[in-house]
Amino acid sequence: RSPTRAGSSLEPEEHSMEPPAVPEEEMPLTTASGPEGCQLFGYVGIEAVLDQMKIKTMKMGFEFNIMVVGQSGLGKSTMVNTLFKSKVSRKASQPSQEERIPKTVQLQSVTHVIEEKGVKMKLTVTDTPGFGDQINNENCWDPIIKYINEQYERYLREEILITRKRKIPDTRVHGCVYFVPPTGHWLRPLDLEFMRRLSKIVNVVPVIAKADTLTLEERAEFKQRIQEDLKTHAISVYPQEDFDQDPDDRALNDRIREKIPFAVVGADQEHQVNGKQVLGRKTKWGIIEVENPAHCEFPLLRDLLIRSHLQDLKDITHNVHYESYRVRRLNESNRP
């Protein structure tokens, strides 16, 4: 048999049952399967991305927008000042008679830049004077719904531009704290209707205002009645059960949902108690410490809004409430 040139033989090739050899440089380091994934042979430094994100966030800062809703005299401005330990809520020093009771619901926003340990936060507080103060409160929530949707619309217009900003200014309301009057009875129709409408477009956190006017027994009964009302009318307040990501989140949020609505007390004056300066309200029979869990549930509200769920509030606003608004608006624009 005469030898032929390489690659030009007409004889059939012999196929072996063994898989073809893989070049050494293309072979994976390891192919560990299962939940652990790929096993590393040494230190890579993946967790350094957390430091990168922290440095970037500290340089850029972040935005947080909060709205407070409730009748006049429930301590909304004082509560916001207590929450951020600074005078961040706009309050007229000596309002005139006309300013005390607005004829319609007026929305007032004030923005501050707060810095703590190198972290900057652009905080916007929106107040709603005039809400629930009239004899006829029909549709008094309309200006609030309009304002929230206007912020979604503003963000959407920036987002759909062909040439858009690298960082779109975020004026969307991330959380709405609703102040329930401390009546000790049931929720009023105004409270139910407001939370029913607003919980569909924003994160609503109900609180019992000026809880120091109720005894501990009255407070517990009032809280239970409010929880029953919310369940009966299918009102989903923050944190919503539908958005729990994993069992750990559900366990944490279940403990929070048991406490909602938080019975809070606000104070912007310090008093001396046992040699320490504490925020509180001074009465004839003692001092109510707003940061003492035995006195009120203000620490729980602060932890929810700032220390544990601030980023979650922003994520749900963007991924759920804004997303539903965006889909609705784009569907409307695509209709013939």
The one-letter amino acid at 24: E
Residue 156, by phi and psi: left (phi above 0), alpha (psi -120 to 50) or beta? Answer: alpha
Give me Rg for the CA atoms of the chain.
29
3-state secondary structure of 257: helix
C-alpha to C-alpha distance for 215 and 212, rounded to whole angstroms: 7
**Token pair 């409430």 is at which residue?**
321
List domains and CATH numbers for the chain: 48-334 (3.40.50.300)
Q: Compute CA distances 217 → 31, 45, 53, 230, 294, whole Å.
A: 61, 54, 46, 20, 14
Kindly state the tokens that stand for 318. Answer: 């963007």
For 225-264, b/e burial (b = at least 16 CB within 10 A) is ebbebbeeeebbbbbeeebeeeeeeeeebeebbeebbbbb
Q: Compute CA distances 110 → 163, 167, 311, whole Å.
A: 29, 21, 21
Q: Print pLDDT tens along the chain (336 aa).
A: 444 444 444 444 444 455 555 454 444 444 444 455 677 788 888 889 988 988 888 888 889 999 999 998 898 988 888 888 777 776 544 455 445 556 667 898 989 988 888 888 899 999 998 898 888 888 899 999 999 999 999 999 999 999 988 889 999 999 999 999 998 888 999 999 999 999 999 999 999 999 989 998 999 999 999 999 999 999 999 999 988 888 888 999 999 999 999 999 988 788 888 888 888 888 888 888 888 888 899 999 999 999 999 999 999 999 999 999 999 999 998 876
For the chain, the first-to-last Cα distance in angstroms comes to 78
Q: With beta carbons less than 8 A apart as the criterion, state whether 301 and 206 touch.
A: no
**Token pair 């309050």 is at which residue?**
91
